[in-house]
Amino acid sequence: MFKWNLREIVVMSTLAVAFAIVYLLFFQVGSILVGFMGPIGYEPIFGIWFIVSIISAYIIRKPGAAFLSETISAFVEVLIGNVNGPRLILSGMIQGLGAEVVFAATGWKRYTIPVLMAAGMGSSIFVSPGVISSLAFKHYHLNMFYGC
């Protein structure tokens, strides 16, 4: 099993906290874009929320780095005031898992640009069903889906 040393834990945690602040700032940018574009306003900047898992995994290169960093970042983002609340922690865990699956497929041995890009896509694919259902139920009345 891979052992983590204190330096790796501190680096991962520092990245997670720093990106939690970045994520919270981009939440405000997304809110402005929603004002101009409607419910799809977050789409042009959606990928920003996947960065910490990819950067942490690239630097630390051990199993769990992507998942843990994204989870910690989501937790910190909730603590410093994201309006989405605790469901954001679940979203962060799913995003980290999406990236972690890609790194696991390579045995945590390949960190090339294509693998890093695939990790970003993995995060997006894993979290998309939740985002789509959230948008659907938030912006449309249920009768639209049931034909009532």
* Domain spans in the chain, listed from the N-terminal domain onward: 6-146
Q: What is the pLDDT of residue 102?
A: 96
Residue of 32, 21, 24, 107 lying closest to 62 (CA atoms)? 107
| 2 touches 62 (CB < 8 A) | yes
* Tokens 């889906």 -> residue: 145
For residue 2, give the amino acid letter.
F
Instruction: Please state, as a whole number, how many other Cβ atoms lie within 10 Å of the Cβ of residue 108.
Output: 18
Q: What is the pLDDT of residue 118?
A: 96
Task: Encode pLDDT of 22-81 as tens digits.
Answer: 999 998 898 899 888 887 888 888 889 899 999 999 999 999 999 999 999 999 999 998
Mean of pLDDT values over 123-132: 78
Collect contacts of 38-41 with beta carbons under 8 A, ≥24 apart: 39/135, 39/138, 39/139
